[in-house]
Structure 1
Amino acid sequence: MKRSIKEVEMLLLQINEHHPLIDELLQDERKGVQAAVKKWERNLEQTRLLQQKYDEMQKYEKKYRREGFDFIAGVDEVGRGPLAGPVVAAAVILPDDFYLPGIDDSKKLSERKREEYYQKIMQSAVAAEVGIIEPDEIDQINILEASKKAMLTAVAALKTSPDFLLVDAVKLHTPYPYEAIIKGDAKSISIAAASIVAKVTRDRIMMEYDKEFPRYSFAKNMGYGTKEHLEAINIYGILPIHRKSFAPVRSHI
């Protein structure tokens, strides 16, 4: 008696490598079975690619652990470009056995994936903290210095002191040895984790501002200078959370 299509699908869910069952199913001419096998093959290939990418993104962590560093903190910031809201940085120390295939630069992930990964990172991290620099201070010290200060604030807040930092691109004045990695949020799992924590934190802040200032659509634009945001500034003026040193805002002072 042949297995039902549903039974075939359930069996395939339990197989994560080539198995004699696959050879058997390939002889089954039913379209539903062939579709199920093709889906299984696609999922298997996707899993393989994610594993490969994850292995590549552990390169820096493995290198520095071999050199004797135990607590490696990934550091990243988000929110340099927006016209409104803070710049937010995160510092995250992951355990040696952390495993989250699919982790990547937060900008490459959907909102749902970012939230899912954020929860997993916060549950598993040895330590994770954020640094937040508000618009007034951004205006005083400039956005680059504010970004650096946010990073250093996040690192200083870590409950477990790091012994090495992996930083996304920026060079820092810090007592800890570090490496600045261009596009590090796509090359290091620790920096990618920090980018996700920083992005989710900042997005939540902007969603709260959206409730307070609904005319500016902050839940959609996150403070960036979109057409609707610029139109709102033209009509309603600037807010205390706007960065007055940024050109499109400065012209409305």
Structure 2
Amino acid sequence: MPKSDSRYFPCFDLEQSLARASGTPIAGVDEAGRGPWAGPVVAAAAILDPNNIPGGLNDSKKLTPNERDRLFDIIQATAKIAVGIVNVGEIDRRNILQATLLAMREAVLGLPLSPAGVLIDGNKCPDLPCPAHAIVKGDGRSFSIAAASIIAKVTRDRIMVRLAAEYPGYGWERNKGYGTPEHRTALARLGVTIHHRRSFRPVQHALASLNAGSSG
């Protein structure tokens, strides 16, 4: 794959290059939620219409929540998208890398069109029935990956807001399950929920402390 020139903003060069080699359509794939202590990992796949690319696409982390929500609706209306969600039990059983690759695979296989090629954010590709290329920092280089990053992040953020209503006190509506001081304090005070990743060391430490306290 040739390098994209877009050091500051994503573009459609990588899609066009892969399309010349593999055909069309080309999908972009990204994930949200590898690092949090709680909640699922979510991946999204997006096939953009080359003649109707939403303005303002960028790495979801560089956008405000309002910008992400606005683009989420536009992408849903103009692109072919699918989402893969892997829950905490599967994360703990497989490990977070394998769970992420599974979510990516589920997203691609869930697309209403079978892509001829796939651009994936990161340095590893899931097992797919079509050519796939890992693009480091791809969400800042490819429109399709940027679109997928927005779909994945908004989808996961909304899941965490819903879970926060069911399990108040951890601040998930704000921290989205990441290891903030608020979340760490709540773990020690409230304990571990069914949505915490028990394979993650901070959660293991919280469990050990709770067990030590109950046996003491």
TM over 0.5: yes
Matching residue of 2:30: 76
Q: 1:205 aligns with which of 159, 163, 167?
A: 159
1:213-252 equivalences in 2 (<5 Å): 213-252=167-206
Counterpart of 1:141, as a letter, is R
> What secondary structure is seen at the aligned counterpart in 2 of 1:76?
strand
1:122 aligns with 2:89: no
CA shift, 1:65, in A, is 2.7
CA shift, 1:195, in A, is 0.3
The worse-fitting range, judged by mean Cα deviation, of 161-170 and 138-147 is: 161-170
Counterpart of 2:58, as a letter, is D
Matching residue of 1:111: 65
Ranges of 4+ aligned residues in structure 1 off by more than 3 Å: none
1:141 aligns with 2:94: yes
Matching residue of 1:195: 149
What's the C-alpha RMSD, in Å, of the aligned pairs? 1.6
1:93 aligns with 2:47: yes
Gaps of 5+ in 2: 1-6, 208-216
Q: 2:113 aligns with which of 148, 153, 160?
A: 160
> What secondary structure is seen at the aligned counterpart in 1 of 2:106?
helix
CA shift, 1:110, in A, is 0.3
> What secondary structure is seen at the aligned counterpart in 2 of 1:99?
coil
C-alpha distance in 1 between matches for 2:201 and 2:20: 47
CA shift, 1:67, in A, is 3.3
The worse-fitting range, judged by mean Cα deviation, of 145-154 and 56-65 is: 56-65
Q: 1:97 to 1:214 in 2, by over 3 A?
A: same
Deviations 1:85-112 (A, max 9, x none): 0000001111121222321110110000
Matching residue of 1:36: none
Larger radius of gyration: 1
Counterpart of 1:165, as a letter, is V
RCO comparison, higher one (Cα < 8 Å, 6+)? 2
> What secondary structure is seen at the aligned counterpart in 2 of 1:179?
strand
1:60 aligns with 2:11: no
Q: 1:150 aligns with which of 89, 92, 103?
A: 103
Matching residue of 1:38: none
CA shift, 1:53, in A, is 6.2
Counterpart of 2:162, as a letter, is E
C-alpha distance in 2 between matches for 1:53 and 1:69: 27
Tell me, yes or no, if the aligned pair for 2:22 and 2:116 is still in contact at 8 Å: no
C-alpha distance in 1 between matches for 2:163 and 2:71: 24
C-alpha distance in 2 between matches for 1:58 and 1:206: 31
C-alpha distance in 1 between matches for 2:129 and 2:113: 15
With normalisation by structure 1, the TM-score equals 0.76
Tell me, yes or no, if the aligned pair for 2:60 and 2:149 is still in contact at 8 Å: yes
Matched residue count: 201
CA shift, 1:69, in A, is 1.4
Gaps of 5+ in 1: 1-51
C-alpha distance in 1 between matches for 2:27 and 2:34: 21
Matching residue of 1:49: none
The worse-fitting range, judged by mean Cα deviation, of 216-225 and 99-108 is: 99-108
